[in-house]
Each structure stands twice: as C-alpha cells, then as structure tokens.
Amino acid sequence: MNESYSVEMRQIVKQFGTVVANDFVDFRAKPGQIHALLGENGAGKSTMMCMLSGVYRPTSGEIFIHGEPAKIRSPKDAMQLGVGMVFQNFRLVQTLTAAENIVLGEKSSFWRGAKWMSNKQQEIEAIAEHFGLSFPVNRPIWQLSVGEQQRVEIVKTLYRGANLIILDEPTSVLTPGEAEQLFATLQHMKAEGKTVILTTHKLKEVMAASDHISVMRKGKLIHSMGKTDTNERELAKLMVGKELGESRPFLPRPQGRRLLEVQQVDVYADHGRKSLDHISLHVNEGEIVGVAGVAGNGQKELAEVLTGLRSWKKGTIYFNGKALKNGSVRAAIESGIAHVPENRMKSGLAGSLGIVDNLLFKSYRTKERSRFGFLRIGANRSWSQSLVEQFDVKTPGLETPVQQLSGGNQQKLLFAREVHQEPLLMVAVHPTQGLDVGATEGVHRLMAEMRDEGKSVLLISEDLDEVIQLSDRIVVIYNGQIAAEVTREEADREKIGMYMAGLQDAEEEAG
Amino acid sequence: MSDHKPVLNKGGTLSAEASHEPGKWNWRSYRIELDSSKKGSAWWIPIVSVLLALVVCGIFIAANGMNPFPVYKKMFTGAFGTSYGLTETLVKTIPLLLCGLGVAIAYRISVWNIGAEGQFAAGAMAATAVTIYFPNMPGILVIPAMIVFSIAAGGIWGLLTAIPRTYFQVNELVTSLMLNYVALLAMDYFVFGPWKDPKGMNFPGTPMFTDAQSLPVLGDTRLHLGLLFGLIAIVLYGFFIKYTRWGYELRLIGANSEAAKNAGIRISRHILLVMLISGGLAGLAGMAEVSGVTHRLMYGISPGYGYTAIIVAWLAKLHPIGLVVSSFLFGGLIVGGYSVQTIGLPSSISEMLQGAILFFLIAGGTVSKFRLRRIR
Amino acid sequence: MEIVYQMLLAAISSGTPLLFATLGGILIERSGIIQLGAEGLMLMGAVTACLTFLQTGSLPITLLAVCGISILLGAVHAFLSVTLRANQIVCGLAMTLFGAGLSAYLGKPISGLPVPGAVPKLDMPWLEAVPFAGRIFAHLDVLTWFSFLLVIGLHLFIHRTSWGLHLRAMGDNPATADVMGIRVQAFRYGYIVVGSILIGLAGADLLLVYSPTWTEGMISGRGWIAVALIIFARWNPIRALLCAYFFGALDMLGFRIQLIGSEIPSYFLKMIPYIVTILVLMFLGWRNRNKPSGSPESLGTPYVREQRF
C-alpha cells in the first residue's frame, strides 16, 4: 500500500553564511496527521518550516507537495500550493479588524459596501466556527487577546484554502486553557484531512496533541516516530542529546555569603503580560549560577531587572547586603553589577563609535576616566590600549568603528569593559551567541576566571551544554518561575531537559 | 537542484540572485542594493549637490528668459567679490552660524529643532525688552544683560518644544513650527504696539538702540561682535563634544540610544538640555541681529534664518568646521540673492537654490549608500 | 444670528484650502510617507494658478496646470522618499524651501495683479429657504463643493473599497501588506502624487477664491497648519473637515473681533490657532499613552522588503 505523503522535504540544507541551520534533513508528513517538530531553540525547526512556507529558499534539497516537486519562491507560491503558516510573531495589521486582515490582499471587488463586508464576515465566522475557533470579527486586532489573534491567523490560512497548516511555536503565547482549545481545533483540522505541523519545544504538548513526532537537534533530524512508539523521557533524551561537553578541571571553591537575593519578584513585560511570577533565586559569592530555559520564559526580564533596565512590581532584591534600587541602571552599575546583553550590537555596543568610546560606557563617570566633567583623553587611550591587549581584542586601531570587528572580538571587548569594572556579579545573557568555537572558549575562560577570583556570574543561556559545563549551580526557569534547582554534581541532562520543557516532579513520580 | 547561492553581506543582509549560466556575464548577477553599514558621508556629496542645484536653478532662470550665467556671476561677486559684499556675507553668516549650531546640537540626538526661527525672535524680543524697560542701565551692564536675557528667552522657547515631546509624545516638528508663528506674532504685537517708536515715521519698529545697547562694529562695515559669539560657540561645541562627559553622552545617544540606556544615560533629560541650548543659541543670534545689525526691533528681522539654519546644519554634517563653511556659503547665498535684485530678479532666488541644494543633498546622501555588488 | 452665519461662511471660506491640503496629506501619510512639504507645494499651486489664469482666463486649463506642477513635484518627493529611501523629514523641508523660492521667482512679474472672478459660484437660491443651514450652502463656489465631495469620497474610498483597505494596511504594516501581495512601493508613488495634486489644489484655491492676488509667501504657514491638522484629524477625512473649518474660524477670529471693537489685540487672537494646536496635541498625547495614536505605524520608516532567501 502506497502511503502518500502530503509533504516531503528531501535532503534539505539551509545555510546562512557559514552557519548551517539545516543539515541534510529529511522530513515527511501525511494528510490527516498532526505532526510535531520537536527541538530546542536553534535546532532548526523554524527554519525548515520557513522554507516550506516560502519565507526562505533552501540552499539545496527538494520539496514535494502531494508527490509533485514544488518550487516555493515566495509566501504567495506557498499559499497557492495550499501551504499556510502561522508565525510566532503574527503577520497582522494592528489597526484593521480581524475580518479585514483575513481578506487583505484579495483583489476581488473594488467596491466593498457594508453588504460585501458582512458577507465576508459570515463566511469567516462560518469557517471559524467549523473549526471551533472564536474571536470577534469586527474589532481591531490590537484589542484582541494574543490567543484570539492567533486564531485569526489560523482562520486566515483556512480561508485561503490551506491544506497544510504549519504552526510555529503556537503555545508559547497561550495560556494552558487556550492551548487546550487550540489542540481541539487541530483535531478538527485533522478530521478534515488536513496536514498539521507544529514546531515546539514543549514535551507535554507534543505527547498531548500530536500523532507523529520528529525530533531535531542542532540542525539535524534525529528521529521520527509515532507518538505511541515513544514517551516523554525518551523524547527529552533525544532533544538534548547525550554528548558530554568537554569537562574542564573544576576547582571546588568554598562558597561565600549570599550576594544576590531575589525574593518573590513580579515583573510585567511590555504588553502587560506577567513575565516573572513571584520568582525567587539567589547567587552566592564565587559561584556561577546557570539559568537554563527555553527563550521566552522570563530570562530577558530577569536580566533587565537585575541591571536596572526594567522595574519590578512586587518583591525585593538585595544585592551585597543592600536593597537594590528599582529600575536604575546607574545604581546597578555602581553597586557592582555588570551586564553582557543578549544582542551586543543592539544594546551593548555603539557600532559607529570606536574602541575607546565603547569601553567608556560604564566607567566614564569615575574619576579615573574623567575629571570635573572632562574626559581624560590621554589616560583613557592608554587604558583602552592596555585593556585591548589584556583581553586580546584584535582590532586595526583604537578608532576603528566597533561594527567592523568580528563577533568574537566585539564580545571580548564587551567583556573587557564589564570585567574591568571589577563587578561583584556579572549578568551574562547568551554570551556566546553567534561566536565560533575559539571565541566561545575565550568567553568561557573569562567567566571561569571571574568565579575563581571570588566574583559571581549569572549565566542565562539557551545552550544547555554551556550551562552544564560552566555552572556551579543550575536553576531552570519556566513560565516566569524557577522550576528546579540542581547543583553541578546533581546535574542530569535529561532531567534538566524535562524541567525546561515544563514537566514537573509530580509527573515524574507518577511516571 | 537549487541554483541559488546565498551570500552574507557586510551589512548583515542576505542576498542571492539566480545566475542561470555561471561564467557568462549576466545582468542579473549584479544588483544595486542599499548597504546600511555604509555611512554615506562621502565628502564630495555637498560639493556635487551645490553644483547640481546651480544647474537646475539655472534651467529655471533660463526658462524664464534670463541667462543664468550673469545672474550667478552677479550673485557671486555681490557676495564675495567686494569687500563690502564680504562683510555683508559675514553679517549674514553670524545668525546662520549660531542657529545652525543649535540645530546641529539637537540633531545629534535626533531631535528636530525647526523652531530656531521662533527662538531667534524670542531672543530678539528679550534683548529689546532690556532696552525698553531698563533704558537707564549703566553702559557696561547693558550688553551682557541683553545677552543673558536673550539666551534665556531662546532657551525657554526651546524648552516649550522639548516638554511636549518628552512628556506628552508630541512630535517636536509640529510644536516648534507652531511656536514659530506664535513668537513672530508676539514680536509683531510688540513692534506695532507698546514698543513702537512714536517717531518711527513709515518704518514701524522700536526706538533705535543707543550706542551702549548696540554691539560694536568693525570700522565702516556692519560686521559686528556677534561673529565672535558665533566662533566662540563653535569652538566650545567642538571642544565639548570631544572632551567632556556631556559630549560623550550626546555622541553615545546619537550612535545607539539603546546602548546609551545601558550605560545609564537618561535620554529624556538630554532632550530637554539639548533644546535648552539649541534655543539659547538661536536666541543669542536674535540678540546679535537686533543689537548689531538693525539696532532696533522691527518687522522682518529674519529672512528665514531659522529655516536656512537647518540646511546649514545638514550640509555641514554636524561638523564644527563644516558649520562655519556652510553658514558662510549660505550667508553668501542670501547676500547674492539681494544683489540680483538690482537686475530685476527677486531675492528669493537664493531660497530656490537653498531648497535645490537640500534636495540634491538628500538624494546624494542616499545614493552614496547604494553599492553595485557582484554576486557569484 | 447674522454673526453666526458670517462666522460659518468665513470658516468655510478660509478653511477650504486647509481642507484640501489636509486631505492630500492624509492620503500621503496613510500610505506611510511623512508629508512636510505642504507649504512649498501650496505656494507652487498658487503661483501656477495665478500665472495660468492670467494667461488663459480659463479655469479648466488652470486647474490642469496646477495638477501638472503638483504631479511633477510629487514625483520628485516620491522618488526621494520611496525609491531612494531618503530622510522624509528633510525631503519635506527641502520641498518647502524650494517651493517658496521658486514660487517667489515665478510670481515676481505678476505680483499684486488682481485675479478677478476665476471660480464660479454654484448659486442655489432656493436653498435659502431651508432653515439654518440653507443660507450657508446657497452661494458656495464650485471648489468648495468639490471639497465636500472629496471628503465623502475619500472616506468611502478608505473604508469601503479594497484599495482603501490596502492603503490602511501598507501604512501600518507594509511588511504584512507586501506578504499578502500588495505592491507597496508602486502604490506609495501613486498616493504621493495624488496627494500632492490635492495640496497644490489647496494653494490654487487659496489664490483663486480666498485671496485673489499673488504675493510672495501668501500661504503664510497654512501648509504647516495642515501638517498639524493631519495629526489633529487623526488621519481621518471627516474629522479633517471639522478641524479645517475650526481652524478657518479661528483664523478669522482675529479680524472679526476687531470689528466688534474688542480690546484684545489682534495678534494674540491670531496666536490662538497655533496654541490650541499644541494644547490639543498634548492632550491627545497624554490621553493615548497606552493606545495606538491613530498614526500609520510605519510613518517615516522607509520600507525595505526583507530578503527572502
């Protein structure tokens, strides 16, 4: 019996410059199936789906839709082939209503009187109801909740007659209740014979919602199987992999006193969503605390709160024995908190300025760098020179705009600046993102040195290997709270992976 | 088999183009694209812009039945050819320099000060107020008092633009423009009303300033001390930007405001401060004009200095020396414009040229950012 | 009662040029491009209208000429803003200066010449029978009637047609519009040109109807007020009508109160429109802290299609 696949992607390779995002991946899905593409951030699953929906073009490899070879050059091509994708950040025009967004781009009928619009609305409502989705059709998008907006996006694909529907991390923006509703909808779509592909990192959902699972890791498709053929534990193992990172000689150090104490802190993100929920954690002197977790669980806000870029609503933060001033960057700097931000060119460095100017960021107010409001140009130059040498930052000159340096050197510069502050705590967010092996090594070494000198590092990273390799203690952040805490000795990749994906102790005990 | 090869460009953008037959030159394997990492600050752009503007306006002049070459010659000689012309140009340079500097300082942190015209008027009024309400002030105090009051008035006027922006998110373009008209109307009120010189005859204005209230001039010319103000301000600007903490903060905000926040800089405070200074400089320009050139407050003391100053700042790319050069150039333009009135052309020809220069400047600025790239 | 009629007629009379300019600006800005060159465009429209009418005496030809000039200037603006992705604010300023200079140059020979009765009125004396409103509409000129139609037409266009929907989309989220198959760049060109025509027409109206003599700089800032009115009207044609007439009324306030013999100097009355503008904008800014302002989201940001490879 010939099982026909609705979509087949063969030997797909996708390269961005030197970075290989997808490494000879073979992926297949059948109609009437809910297929989950499981993997951590950066595993390559979103990239795969972007190629299916026409946002990217494969470097090499072929795509077949219903057995026919398909050249998908643009989202329009994809739409014509019946492929619709619901992205994580919605493609919706905020000021238009849901109905208007759905019919956007439709060339039919220049004049659209009230009658036309209400016909369309009825059409849309019919489709929505059929699949168990509900949202107000007539209100502008910005008034809709995130869950409702997502439903609009789904109906948009259905309205266009999509038979292959891809959802990119759909539950990352939903409450558990809304997620349940979404799964019900997916079942409807499955019943109609459509192919549904879900990319996600959440194990629980995968087991709850999907029929078939493909696990990706570091650009490769590791394994593909039916839900009944596997369990959560196995999936977690596949997701995070079994390779042990190179272990460095790790000197056990006496722990110092409590340096940072975060108690029951509530933080709200830009859209009023609660991103940190009664979170508590602590960092002692002379230790590296790794914060493991999938992006979007509150890490960004945690870093912002500790460095003064964001204020918190409830709870207290004590640093070095004193209460930390809420929402003041200067206070954080002066207390001795250093910050290596996630996106160094966006918020860490000023690309068009030179080395000296970038190094002065945090210290230009101190009396070594300026006096009576005047910068001490000569002293600053020689200081910069020594820092550049000390940290081995390769640059043509001190005046070179920083954007011309390589990523690794930019990061070294950032570290040089922060470390020179002699901070008591360094908050490092994805510090090795986009760096090659050598540069990564260098950064790791810097952090280990800090720790050996009795300082502390809060390492927030999505790279579990990195976290496990470096940390004295690992906390797992999930949904704005600390889900688990393990010491270095106790660190077990599988277990941490499960916590990262939202599984709890209770489940584990029961299973 | 895919025939696309992606390439990561320096600006961080990706591009690829299908080259159907490798080895054969294919126009599709070239492409013009915007490279955002290039700063577009090629030195030849201002020069070419001016030349192109001259050409385009020359066409207009020719289309109207006059030969552009003698017109341009007259403008040039009128502005730079005679010693009188030269000093006149310098006289016009002064307000342009001061206002242009103010606009440049604000623009360093992406604040648009279109209100220089109104701030100029505010300063002029403040300076005149000193002469009206304190006519018996001892000689040594008068000029300093006028300076202080005019800077304060201009600064406050500038703050009136900054406050709505900082606290109410009101676009500073609209606010500053509205305030321009308010200031000019206020000036009209005073000039035609309570401050009017009863002996004014046909030319409405305030009574003439006394010698003590006027800035000293150079010999027989109208070139007054205001030039010194301007040059000192420029030097201070260059110095502050490079050598002080405040200058550093401005540069940082201008380069990357996100990063500046990370350095603990409070941007809204800088917006207020910068508008205060910017307005103050324009106010000083107003005082200089009123005290050094016209010696009274009267209708139409500014032929649009505040607006020309914007082009001055742009042409100079915010660079101190550039500001001196471009304000001199535009001063010459204005004087040249007046001088062609004798051959029957309206002085507004200089405005036309100004606008054209600006057009080509913008076009040139972005054109230089485009690159012709060859894709393998 | 007489006073009220006079006020309303005056408001309409001085508000109509503002209305045209605001409507044109709304079209342009709704597509995502900042329009700051209104003052220069209006001046060019006015001087062109004056020159052409004095030459030909024919209203249709005059209007055609005004359109032609506006299309030319609009195309330059579009080229700089859309294709070259230049700084739109400076574009507008350049347009203003260039327009001011060029119009003064072209207008020199005809400065001060009266332009009699260019625009015919649409006399409908039977309307006077209608209570209240009738008298106002009885003797308006054709351009004013055109502006009424325009307001309604634009409103219907924006909210009731497919193109209008596309316009709203491309102003708020050109990336999404592009993905949905709307040709953003091409449409932006179109809207800039059409909007410029309306703004040029505003200048022409000012000259032909309101103040039929060319003087240098006669627009005296109305172009800038139109810029503010666009925001004031929240990019909505019907609101634009109300705002334009409101400002038209404020404009006339100065003269009228003088006629009543009030003590307030006219200068301060003339300031009222400007100060009111700032205050209203501040109020709106405060009230809409957490809500979208109604401005097209992508205003001022040149659209670059994301590379799709």
Which residue among B242, B256, B263 sits closest to A362, beta carbon to beta carbon? B263
Annotate B293-323 with DSSP letters as a single string. Answer: IISS-BTT--SSHHHHHHHHHHHTTT-HHHH
Would you call A95 and C182 a contact, using CB atoms and an 8 Å cutoff?
A: no
Confidence check: pLDDT of B138 > 60: yes
Q: How far apart (Å, rounded) are the C-alpha atoms in residues B249 and B159?
A: 20
Residue A509 is predicted with a pLDDT of: 43
Which of A228-242, A285-299, C16-30 is predicted least confidently? A228-242
Q: What number of other Cβ atoms are within 10 A of residue B51's Cβ?
A: 12
Chain B residues touching residue A375 (CB < 8 angstroms): 243-245, 248
Q: How far apart (Å, rounded) are the C-alpha atoms in residues A314 and A321?
A: 19
Q: What is the nearest CA distance from B146 to chain A, expressed in angstroms? A: 29
Residue at token pair 């050409």: B55
Q: How far apart (Å, rounded) are the C-alpha atoms in residues B273 and B289?
A: 24
Lay out the sheet containing A258-268: strands in order across.
Answer: A274-284, A258-268, A314-319, A322-323
The contacts of residue A356 (CB under 8 Å, 6+ apart) are A380, A381, A384, A398, A399
Q: What is the nearest CA distance from C41 to chain B, expressed in angstroms? A: 13
Q: Are strands A425-429 and A456-461 parallel, antiparallel or unpaired?
A: parallel
**How does pLDDT run across C209-265, given as a tens digit for each residue?**
888 888 877 777 788 888 888 888 888 999 999 989 988 888 777 666 666 666 677
Confidence check: pLDDT of B139 > 90: no
**Torsion region of B4: left, alpha or beta (phi above 0 gives left; psi -120 to 50 gives alpha):** beta
Confidence check: pLDDT of A243 > 50: no
Q: How far apart (Å, rounded) are the C-alpha atoms in residues A213 and A38?
A: 7
Cα B63–Cα B69–Cα B71 angle in degrees, nearest 5: 80
Annotate A272-321 with DSSP letters as a single string. Answer: S-EEEEEEEEEEETT-EEEEE--TTSSHHHHHHHHHTSS--SEEEEEETT
Q: What is the nearest CA distance from B170 to chain C, expressed in angstroms? A: 6
Contact B125, B185 (CB under 8 A): no
Chain B residues touching residue A377 (CB < 8 angstroms): 242-243
Cα A482–Cα A300–Cα A354 angle in degrees, nearest 5: 145
Across A257-275, average pLDDT: 81
Give residue C234's domain range.
2-113+139-287
Residue C301 lies inside a defined structural domain of this protein = no
Q: Give the residue from A19, A93, A100 with the most C CB atoms within 10 Å of its CB, the best one to mutate.
A: A93
pLDDT confidence tier of residue B149, bands split at 50, 70 and 90: very high
Element (H, E) at C123: strand C121-123
* All chains having 3 or more CB pairs closer than 8 angstroms to chain C: A, B
Q: Taking CB atoms and an 8 Å cut-off, how many pairs form between chains B and C?
A: 162
Residue B8 is predicted with a pLDDT of: 41
Residue with the larger pLDDT of the pair C8 and B95: B95
Widest CA span of chain A, in angstroms? 85
Residue B14 is predicted with a pLDDT of: 38
Residue B238 lies inside a defined structural domain of this protein = yes
Interface of B with C in 115-154 (CB under 8 A): none
**How does pLDDT run across B256-305, given as a tens digit for each residue?**
888 888 888 888 899 999 999 999 999 999 999 998 888 888 888 888 88
Phi/psi of residue A85, each to 5°?
Answer: -125, 135
**How does pLDDT run across B64-84, given as a tens digit for each residue?**
777 888 888 888 888 888 888
Residue C307 is predicted with a pLDDT of: 47
H helices present in chain C, as ranges = 2-30, 38-56, 59-78, 88-107, 134-137, 142-160, 162-172, 174-179, 184-205, 222-232, 237-260, 266-287
The contacts of residue A308 (CB under 8 Å, 6+ apart) are A325, A327, A328, A329, A330, A331, A332, A333, A337, B264
Q: How far apart (Å, rounded) are the C-alpha atoms in residues A195 and A54?
A: 17
Chain B residues interacting with chain A (CB cutoff of 8 angstroms): 1-2, 4-8, 14, 16, 37, 39, 242-246, 248, 251-252, 255-256, 258-264
Would you call B352 and C98 a contact, using CB atoms and an 8 Å cutoff?
A: yes
Cα A471–Cα A473–Cα A479 angle in degrees, nearest 5: 105
Structure tokens at C260: 């009543």
**B109 touching C, CB under 8 A?**
no
Which residue among A55, A109, A142 sits closest to C162, beta carbon to beta carbon? A109
Confidence check: pLDDT of C39 > 60: yes
Amino acid identity at C290: N
Across A113-125, average pLDDT: 86
Element (H, E) at B370: strand B370-374
Residue B2 lies inside a defined structural domain of this protein = no
Which of B59-68, B85-94, B244-253, C163-172 is predicted least confidently? B59-68
Which residue among A95, A107, A112 sits closest to C160, beta carbon to beta carbon? A112
Question: What total number of domains does chain B contain?
Answer: 1
Q: Give the residue from B110, B243, B245 with the most A CB atoms within 10 Å of its CB, the best one to mutate.
A: B245
Q: What is the nearest CA distance from C164 to chain B, expressed in angstroms? A: 26
Q: What is the nearest CA distance from C173 to chain A, expressed in angstroms? A: 6
**B355 touching C, CB under 8 A?**
yes
Same fold across A7-90+148-239 and A258-348+426-510: yes
Residue A196 is predicted with a pLDDT of: 93
Q: Are strands A258-268 and A274-284 parallel, antiparallel or unpaired?
A: antiparallel
The residue of chain C with its CA nearest to that of B64 is C106
pLDDT confidence tier of residue B156, bands split at 50, 70 and 90: very high
Q: pTM of the prediction?
A: 0.78
Q: Give the residue from B14, B244, B262, B265 with the most A CB atoms within 10 Å of its CB, the best one to mutate.
A: B262
Among residues B67, B352, B358, B339, the alpha carbon closest in space to that of C105 is found at: B352
**How does pLDDT run across A65-84, given as a tens digit for each residue?**
888 888 888 888 888 888 99
Chain B residues touching residue C107 (CB < 8 angstroms): 346
CATH number of the domain enclosing C81: 1.10.3470.10
Q: Give the residue from B7, B49, B177, B334 with the most C CB atoms within 10 Å of its CB, the best one to mutate.
A: B177
Would you call B263 and A329 a contact, using CB atoms and an 8 Å cutoff?
A: yes
Give residue B329's domain range.
67-344
According to DSSP, the residues that pair with B250 across neighbouring strands are none
Q: What is the mean pLDDT of chain C?
A: 84
Q: How far apart (Å, rounded) are the C-alpha atoms in residues B129 and B206?
A: 10
The contacts of residue B5 (CB under 8 Å, 6+ apart) are A59, B16, B375, B376
Q: Taking CB atoms and an 8 Å cut-off, how many pairs form between chains A and B?
A: 88
The contacts of residue B224 (CB under 8 Å, 6+ apart) are B91, B94, B214, B215, B216, B217, B218, B288, B291, B292, B293
Residue C193 lies inside a defined structural domain of this protein = yes
**How does pLDDT run across C139-188, given as a tens digit for each residue?**
788 889 999 999 999 999 998 888 898 999 888 888 888 888 788 889 99
Which of B139-143, B346-350, C19-23 is predicted least confidently? B346-350
Q: Are strands A374-375 and A370-371 parallel, antiparallel or unpaired?
A: antiparallel
Structure tokens at B128: 């005149």
Q: How many CA atoms lie within 13 A of A293 on its CB side?
A: 26
Contact C108, C87 (CB under 8 A): no
Among residues A319, A317, A338, A333, the alpha carbon closest in space to that of A262 is found at: A317
Amino acid identity at B353: L
Q: What number of other Cβ atoms are within 10 A of residue A138's Cβ?
A: 12
Residue B2 is predicted with a pLDDT of: 34
Residue C189 is predicted with a pLDDT of: 94
Structure tokens at C271: 């300031």
Cα B313–Cα B319–Cα B325 angle in degrees, nearest 5: 70
Structure tokens at B296: 């009274």
At B52 the three-state DSSP class reads helix
Contact A353, A401 (CB under 8 A): yes
Chain C residues touching residue A76 (CB < 8 angstroms): 181
Q: What is the nearest CA distance from A108 to chain C, expressed in angstroms? A: 8
Confidence check: pLDDT of A53 > 80: yes
Helix orientation angle between B139-168 and C266-287, rounded to the nearest 10 degrees:
40
**How does pLDDT run across A156-195, given as a tens digit for each residue?**
999 988 889 999 988 777 766 777 888 988 998 899 889 9
- Give the residue extent of every domain in chain A: 7-90+148-239, 258-348+426-510
Q: How far apart (Å, rounded) are the C-alpha atoms in residues A380 and A382?
A: 6
Q: How far apart (Å, rounded) are the C-alpha atoms in residues C187 and C192?
A: 9
Query: Out of 3.40.50.300, 3.40.50.2300, 3.40.605.10, 3.20.190.10, which CATH number does the structure's domain A258-348+426-510 have?
Result: 3.40.50.300
- What is the ipTM metric for this complex? 0.79
Q: How far apart (Å, rounded) are the C-alpha atoms in residues A105 and C162?
A: 8
CATH number of the domain enclosing B135: 1.10.3470
Which residue among A55, A93, A111 sits closest to C176, beta carbon to beta carbon? A93
Confidence check: pLDDT of B105 > 80: yes
Residue at token pair 């015209």: B117
Q: Are strands B30-34 and B370-374 parallel, antiparallel or unpaired?
A: antiparallel
Across A352-380, average pLDDT: 85
**How does pLDDT run across C58-83, given as a tens digit for each residue?**
888 999 999 999 999 999 999 998 88
**Torsion region of A335: left, alpha or beta (phi above 0 gives left; psi -120 to 50 gives alpha):** alpha
Residue C306 is predicted with a pLDDT of: 53
Confidence check: pLDDT of B7 > 60: no
Confidence check: pLDDT of B36 > 60: no
Q: Are strands A60-65 and A68-69 parallel, antiparallel or unpaired?
A: antiparallel
Chain C residues interacting with chain A (CB cutoff of 8 angstroms): 160-163, 165-166, 168-169, 172-173, 175-177, 179-182, 292, 294, 297, 308-309
According to DSSP, the residues that pair with A298 across neighbouring strands are none
pLDDT confidence tier of residue C309, bands split at 50, 70 and 90: very low
Which of A280-284, A432-436, C175-179, C206-210 is predicted least confidently? A432-436
Would you call B264 and A346 a contact, using CB atoms and an 8 Å cutoff?
A: no
Across A11-16, average pLDDT: 87
Question: What total number of domains does chain C contain?
Answer: 1
Contact B270, B134 (CB under 8 A): no
Asked: is A7-90+148-239 a CATH 3.40.50.300 domain? The reply is yes
Torsion of CA C296, C300, C304, C305, to 10 degrees: 0
Confidence check: pLDDT of C203 > 90: yes
Confidence check: pLDDT of A345 > 80: yes
Chain A residues touching residue B259 (CB < 8 angstroms): 346-350, 361
Contact B153, B123 (CB under 8 A): yes
- If 0-12 CB within 10 Å is exposed, 13-18 middle and 19+ buried, where does residue A408 land? buried
Confidence check: pLDDT of A336 > 50: yes
Q: What is the mean pLDDT of chain B?
A: 80
Residue C196 lies inside a defined structural domain of this protein = yes
Confidence check: pLDDT of B31 > 80: no
Q: What is the DSSP letter of A228?
A: G
Across A317-332, average pLDDT: 88
Q: How far apart (Å, rounded) are the C-alpha atoms in residues C92 and C71?
A: 15
Q: How far apart (Å, rounded) are the C-alpha atoms in residues B198 and B121?
A: 22
Q: What is the mean pLDDT of chain A?
A: 84
Q: What is the 3-state composition of chain A as percent helix, strand, coil, each rounded to the nearest 5? A: 35, 25, 35
According to DSSP, the residues that pair with A200 across neighbouring strands are A38
Q: How far apart (Å, rounded) are the C-alpha atoms in residues B339 and B316?
A: 25
- The dihedral sign for the CA sequence A53, A58, A63, A69: positive
Phi/psi of residue A12, each to 5°?
Answer: -80, 130
Residue B45 lies inside a defined structural domain of this protein = no
Confidence check: pLDDT of B51 > 70: yes
Residue B286 is predicted with a pLDDT of: 93
Contact C200, C66 (CB under 8 A): yes
